């Protein structure tokens, strides 16, 4: 990362960076975290940093594929014992004309020619009779041997992949770890629990940010309240043990908005400082000298949600090496009062097979219209009612 400077780059113009450019900047700014091995049972949902290969054969030994009788040579066969799954002692070799009762999964004795299923056999006077068909024996390594490729690098580890890895003796997987994301909620008026009292408001960012971070492959930390104090905010930023620090509020130019001054003091480089969109203009993305990221969300809930989808989602998606899903577009209809030179992010409903329709009554402060929506539509200057627009998936 280049050294930070206190000079404000061009992105700090009053109009802000174009929405599409801001979204692309956030995605391109981050590179995948350094890979590390994790226990295979903790690898689900992560991206492989190196190929996953088998460590042992499956099956590990020749084993019965059916319940029945292991037989050697031509019949009838004298029944001489029983072999159950899980027995660790090797079975005595089976001589011609001999049989042992055997359970599915049990290792077959050396010399076995086939397993005769119960339904294809009969026992009378200590002798087994029947006509073998298929051998019904799983040979050692039939499914794979040590060194066989299970999954190439760059693929997500699915629960099925975890199960396959366990089958082939894999204890650890080399993966890109989940980025840790901390949320700092500024504002003396904000409470995290309970009903707000006079002059107070209940925080709504924690559930939104947590859900978005998990969706992107990150690991959210417990949200922290930070008072409207410059020193307190500086300390909180310094001590946040996370790859990404999200700050809600403190991003505008009011008397209690300290984020810009604090980040400049910490030597941060602003990559995005303001986006030409409504709602969500006073959002930002900054890089700290120690390699951490700071995402600034406006304090109004609707605007903060837009900022999280604009900057936080593409940034966090890149850190665990996840592929960003291709943009989804749909025709959008409805009334919208537009501001020239500004991208409008509006809630829409999407009926089955029909166009997306703008939900009226949305704004920067409220979430009621968004809660009734299926997505947010990105409406740029070229849009006309019925034209396609990009849709953002809500958390």
Domains of the chain: 10-33+177-318 (3.40.980.10), 37-57+143-176 (3.90.105.10), 63-138 (2.170.190.11), 328-393 (2.40.340)
Question: 83-87, 167-171, 327-331, 361-365: which range is least confident on average?
Answer: 361-365
pLDDT reading at 4 higher than 80: no
pLDDT score for 218: 96
* 279/338: higher pLDDT: 279
- Does the pLDDT of residue 255 top 60, yes or no? no
pLDDT-based confidence at residue 254 (cuts at 50, 70, 90): low
- The Cα–Cα gap between 119 and 126 comes to 17
Beta pairing class for 98-102 and 77-83: parallel
The enclosing H or E element of 302 equals helix 301-307
Residue 12's pLDDT band (boundaries 50, 70, 90)? Answer: very low
* β-bridge mates for residue 331, sequence order: 388
Residue 127: strand, helix, or coil: strand
Q: Using pLDDT thresholds of 50, 70 and 90, give the confidence band for residue 366.
A: confident
3-state secondary structure of 390: strand
Q: Predicted confidence band at 364 (pLDDT cuts at 50, 70, 90)?
A: confident
326 pLDDT above the threshold of 60: yes
- Spatial neighbors of 197 by CB under 8 A, at least 6 apart, are 191
Q: What is the pLDDT of residue 144?
A: 93
> How does DSSP classify residue 144?
B
| Pair 308, 297: CB distance under 8 Å | yes
d(CA 312, CA 295): 6
From CA 346, how far away is CA 14, in angstroms rounded?
22
pTM: 0.82
Q: What's the first-to-final CA gap in the chain, in angstroms?
A: 31
pLDDT for 293 beyond 70:
yes
Quick one: pLDDT at residue 341?
A: 85
Query: Above 90 in pLDDT, residue 7?
Result: no
Residue-level pLDDT at 256? 60
State the Cα angle at 98 between 92 and 100, rounded to 5°. Answer: 60
CA distance 125 to 295: 80
Is 146 or 364 the better-scoring residue by pLDDT? 146
Average pLDDT rounded to a whole number, residues 285-312: 96
Distance CA 270, CA 111 (A): 73
Q: Which pLDDT tens digit goes with each residue over 63-100?
A: 999 999 999 999 999 999 999 998 888 888 999 999 99
List all residues 6 or more positions away from 169 whose beta carbon is below 8 Å from its beta carbon: 54, 55, 56, 146
Measured in residues, the chain has a length of 395
Question: If you average pLDDT over residues 259-271, what whole number do you get?
Answer: 94
Cross-strand pairs, 246 = 183, 295
Q: How many separate helices (H) and strands (E) can be counted in the chain? A: 8, 28
How high does pLDDT run on average in the chain? 91
Q: What is the pLDDT of residue 324?
A: 87
Q: CB of 28 within 8 A of CB of 285?
A: no
Question: Parallel, antiparallel, or unpaired for β 244-248 and 180-186?
Answer: parallel
pLDDT recorded at residue 37? 96
Please tell me the distance from the alpha carbon of residue 227 to that of residue 314, in angstroms, as a whole number. 28
**Which tens digits make up the pLDDT trace of 102-151?**
999 999 999 999 999 999 999 999 999 999 889 999 999 999 999 999 99
Sign of CA dihedral 256, 261, 266, 271: positive
pLDDT of residue 382: 87
* Residue 319 pLDDT greater than 90, yes or no: yes
User: pLDDT per residue over 191-247, tens digit each?
Assistant: 988 888 998 899 999 999 999 999 999 999 999 999 989 999 999 999 999 999 999
């Amino acid at each position: 990362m280049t050294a930070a400077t206190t000079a404000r780059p061009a992105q700090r113009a009053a109009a802000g960076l174009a929405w599409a450019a801001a979204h692309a900047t956030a995605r391109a700014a981050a590179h995948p975290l350094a890979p590390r091995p994790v226990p295979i049972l903790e690898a689900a949902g992560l991206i492989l940093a190196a190929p996953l290969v088998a460590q042992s054969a499956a099956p590990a030994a020749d084993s019965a594929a059916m319940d029945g009788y292991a037989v050697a040579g031509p019949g009838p066969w004298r029944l001489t014992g029983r072999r159950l799954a899980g027995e660790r002692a090797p079975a005595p070799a089976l001589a011609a004309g001999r049989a042992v009762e055997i359970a599915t999964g049990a290792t077959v004795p050396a010399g076995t020619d086939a397993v005769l299923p119960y339904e294809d056999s009969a026992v009378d006077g200590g002798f087994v009779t029947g006509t073998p068909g298929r051998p019904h024996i799983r040979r050692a390594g039939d499914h794979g041997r040590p060194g066989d490729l299970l999954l190439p690098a760059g693929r997500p580890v699915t629960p099925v992949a975890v199960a396959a890895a366990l089958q082939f003796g894999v204890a650890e997987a080399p993966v890109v770890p989940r980025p840790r994301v901390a949320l700092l909620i500024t504002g003396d008026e904000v409470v995290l629990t309970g009903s707000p009292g006079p002059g107070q408001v209940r925080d709504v960012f924690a559930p939104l940010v947590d859900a978005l971070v998990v969706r992107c492959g990150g690991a959210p930390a417990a949200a922290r309240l930070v008072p409207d104090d410059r020193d307190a905010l500086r300390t909180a930023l310094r001590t946040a043990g996370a790859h990404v620090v999200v700050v809600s509020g403190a991003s505008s130019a009011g008397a209690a908005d300290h984020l810009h001054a604090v980040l400049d003091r910490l030597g941060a480089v602003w990559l995005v400082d303001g986006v030409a969109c409504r709602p969500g203009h006073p959002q930002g993305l900054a890089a700290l000298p120690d390699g951490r990221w700071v995402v600034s969300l406006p304090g109004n809930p609707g605007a903060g949600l837009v900022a999280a989808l604009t900057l936080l989602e593409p940034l966090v998606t890149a850190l665990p090496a996840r592929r960003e899903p291709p943009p989804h577009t749909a025709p959008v209809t409805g009334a919208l009062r537009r501001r020239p030179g500004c991208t409008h992010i509006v809630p829409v409903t999407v009926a089955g097979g029909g166009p997306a329709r703008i939900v009226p009554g949305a704004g920067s402060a409220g979430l009621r219209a968004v809660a009734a929506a299926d997505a947010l539509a990105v409406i740029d200057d070229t849009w006309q009612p019925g034209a396609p627009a990009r849709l953002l998936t809500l958390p």
